[in-house]
Structure 1
């Protein structure tokens, strides 16, 4: 899940359920029962998740791992009987990047292996390095001057911004009944005119911009001073560290130093020793490889053809992002979502449903860098939010359903401020109340690929999921592995998604839409 997108303001509305006749089609209870039976008793979702994580490996945008996943998912969807399976280019992305070797250890004052991994898009070391360390801490630009002449041929240790603290709270949790009730009961506020940010908000934004500027100057200074490598951390605890990119992926990005992100406990130990005057020596070697032969980005798409003569040209879409970060195997972010969406279409094929509309699954690339795969797919097929000039396919999309909030079971759905769909979704969730899914909220949620559709006035939705340990342990960390996937949760989610997709494909009318948004010329592609 991408966390660098703005999250829309929250809101929700209690809804009432109209009679089924008002929905435009009657729910087929027998088919929903078949979907439930297939998904809960003959599931293949964990097998799919195994291939996406353990077999394909990390799936950073442009990497060999993502290419393996693209090829495997295309073949698997074809083997399940879907048509038009294709690895579809969406435009230019930039350089791919893979790790071929990574090793880091403390060799003085004693030997100890350390937990860390190269930051994405950083270069290799010049073979194995064994160097003394220097701690660099700078709160202002003026602080940089004291390190001049001190860094040549050294390994630089950056400070730890969020040191681990003892906590008595569990990592994982589920949504409480009270939380879900609050989501369902909260009233959607009336649209308000754009307001000037509050002074506190403006101060925070200014402080963040200053922090980014200082970090850039610090990196430039360390490089110009001739340092050999950098060790840094974004936080974490108990051996968990968060990962990110250490350089741009653009083909013309300027060179940077080799840099590893570390478990904060290891980083803090090195800092304490060095600041106490104990000589610290680090041995490290990274070998990374840039892929520049193909700078394109890709999505995987496949279809279950519609059967209704009048409606088969319309499309119901479902999807999740296939790319991940590289320190683990991207299990909860977002192999889980992709495995569930793949399982949903497998269930529909296995139960032999004949959807009136065409059902199209899309597994997105480069979501982690800014929703690139879905944003460019929408731009290529439906509309460009910068101009809001609609393409013919825009009128044909009935709905898009997304999953990208970890591996927790589905508890309901965000209606994304679309009041007209709330009662429809409430009715569709009725058969799954016994599985814990019953909440509909008009609250907006951000950070996932449904935003690409919502941005051009298309009905795009993200499901509500139990958080489990997504935000505390797995999201963008070295702990995001297969072991974090609860099978029963993934099975439940697959059944709910398959049902929603089926009902959207069978309904007489497409799902209601919100008014078209205004063009946003400053939107970046």
Structure 2
């Protein structure tokens, strides 16, 4: 009996604080109503979408287009009445600047076929228009390179296929089902079976062979390299690992698998294939990575220096106009702050917007912000603004509408977000997931113990279009972006008005003196 009493007493102590928090969390329904009305009736989503995609164009980190986009965003923030607007240095960028000025590729024999193509960023230019027979580099082991020694100087080199197209019977675009959202709301199983060590060994071996091939091609003086990347005749975007000041890499072009595979099959059947290619790229002086920042200052004499931060990465790849990845997030964040500014809100805390640079190369903009304001990158000591940081909300999963929010394992905010989401239940925003989600800028804040969150979004057709030449205005769903802006404005307002900052995750004793881990983040979003 005594054991039962102790058990129920402990359960009571655990449950009651969360219950009381949910009962005492205040939500200004009158303001939520105003946010909804402003976001629906006076939306500027369509206009922002045009200017941030069609007008500014691609925004590759360090490119002329990226700088132009930053200047436009600064001017727009000022027009909207945001304060303390600035283009702010975040980090050095070792790759340097790079612009693509011309790309043309066509097969000329055994017949003519003009190919969609996309140059690999931070690779070099051809010497004008080059013409010639293609050499298929069929290499399965380092020893295979010997047979090509002295045979690819000045040649167009076709890399072997690394994947094959498989028909998918899934719809091209999708939204979360109720069952999928239910599963997402459940904690992920821990301690699953590790992937076989052989898989990792194979991957390491493949990367080592790829590096050997790259070194060989460069040493042998190939004229241009052709890769297969992208399906549905849509080439994807990517970048070379380059350091500014080094010799320019061999020109490299990505072709969709349909064009690449066609030529590979012809050559393997003994049929000579010829092409003509012209690539003109320009390397620029090594630039900095910049963020574009604006805000609505806080008004409470005790809380005005605390910051609620909303943001999205502004950089893109160079093939399309970076619409879904991630102009969509920037459009939503700009519209969210516009809504609050138009309503003449007087937030207790400062609400700040940040459009991050250099996310695709490793969260550079947001990490630079953390280094500048929050945590010393060398000593890991907290800076004065660390204790003034209230919350960060991020969007970087394409154009799809919000369906909820990831907690990043921060159960302390669950009862708060449950209350904040109630006014949006009829809009389908109900799911709270305890799980972590990665690959984007909220991780920069979560990694140092600050409350940073990414919204759950319908996927739509994100995987099909991102990082490709088809990531353009057409990938945007205006109704979904309006929906997202309303929810973001509400979350930012709630975080700025509550008495206390959002709670961070408690520091575990074992990690108090542990060095801060800066895990490289794959460029996926």
With the length of structure 2 as denominator, give the TM-score of the two structures. 0.91
Structure 1 residues 129-165: Cα deviation after superposition (integer angstroms, max 9, x where no partner): 1111011122221222222222122101012212222
Q: Of residues 261, 271, 282 in structure 2, which corresponds to 1:289?
A: 282
The structure having more radius of gyration, on CA atoms, is 2
- Pick closer, same or farther for the CA change 1:177–1:21 going to 2, 3 Å: closer
Residue 326 in structure 1 maps to residue 318 in structure 2 = yes
Aligned CA-pair RMSD: 2.1
1:89-488 matches, cutoff 5 A: 89-94=89-94, 95-186=96-187, 198=194, 200-234=195-229, 236-248=230-242, 250-292=243-285, 294-384=286-376, 387-471=379-463, 473-488=464-479
- Pick closer, same or farther for the CA change 1:384–1:474 going to 2, 3 Å: farther
Match of 1:33 in 2: 33
Match of 1:55 in 2: 55
On the 8 A contact 1:247/1:253 being kept in 2, the answer is no
- Pick closer, same or farther for the CA change 1:512–1:156 going to 2, 3 Å: same
Question: How many residues of Structure 1 are paired with residues of Structure 2 in the alignment?
Answer: 501
Deviation at 1:247, TM superposition (A): 3.6
On the 8 A contact 1:387/1:520 being kept in 2, the answer is no
Residues in 2 aligned to 1:87 and 1:46: alpha-carbon distance in whole angstroms: 24
On the 8 A contact 1:422/1:441 being kept in 2, the answer is no
Match of 2:7 in 1: none
- Pick closer, same or farther for the CA change 1:118–1:21 going to 2, 3 Å: closer
* Bigger fraction of residues in helix: 2
Structure 1 residues 470-516: Cα deviation after superposition (integer angstroms, max 9, x where no partner): 11x11211111110101111010110101000000001000011134
Q: Of residues 502, 507, 516 in structure 1, which corresponds to 2:498?
A: 507
On the 8 A contact 2:380/2:516 being kept in 1, the answer is no
Deviation at 1:387, TM superposition (A): 3.6
Structure 1 residues 106-140: Cα deviation after superposition (integer angstroms, max 9, x where no partner): 11111110011110001111111111101112222
- Pick closer, same or farther for the CA change 1:156–1:16 going to 2, 3 Å: farther
Residues in 2 aligned to 1:246 and 1:418: alpha-carbon distance in whole angstroms: 37
Which is worse superposed, 459-468 or 175-184? 175-184
Structure 1 residues 404-436: Cα deviation after superposition (integer angstroms, max 9, x where no partner): 011100000001010100111111011111111
Structure 1 residues 150-182: Cα deviation after superposition (integer angstroms, max 9, x where no partner): 212210101221222222221110111011111
On the 8 A contact 1:188/1:417 being kept in 2, the answer is no
Gaps of 5+ in 1: 1-13
Determine helix, strand or coil for the equivalent of 1:81: coil
Residues in 2 aligned to 1:240 and 1:135: alpha-carbon distance in whole angstroms: 22
Residues in 1 aligned to 2:293 and 2:364: alpha-carbon distance in whole angstroms: 15
- Pick closer, same or farther for the CA change 1:467–1:21 going to 2, 3 Å: closer
Residues in 1 aligned to 2:49 and 2:18: alpha-carbon distance in whole angstroms: 36
Residues in 1 aligned to 2:357 and 2:342: alpha-carbon distance in whole angstroms: 27
Match of 2:43 in 1: 43
On the 8 A contact 2:118/2:236 being kept in 1, the answer is no
With the length of structure 1 as denominator, give the TM-score of the two structures. 0.91
On the 8 A contact 1:385/1:523 being kept in 2, the answer is no
Which is worse superposed, 458-467 or 166-175? 166-175
Determine helix, strand or coil for the equivalent of 1:363: strand
Residues in 2 aligned to 1:158 and 1:15: alpha-carbon distance in whole angstroms: 62
Structure 1 residues 366-396: Cα deviation after superposition (integer angstroms, max 9, x where no partner): 0000001111110111014664310000000
On the 8 A contact 1:356/1:505 being kept in 2, the answer is yes
1:12-23 matches, cutoff 5 A: 18=19, 22-23=23-24
Match of 2:12 in 1: none
On the 8 A contact 2:406/2:455 being kept in 1, the answer is yes
On the 8 A contact 1:321/1:364 being kept in 2, the answer is yes
Match of 2:5 in 1: none
- Pick closer, same or farther for the CA change 1:21–1:468 going to 2, 3 Å: closer
Structure 1 residues 191-221: Cα deviation after superposition (integer angstroms, max 9, x where no partner): x8xx9x94x4432222222211111110111
On the 8 A contact 1:417/1:443 being kept in 2, the answer is yes
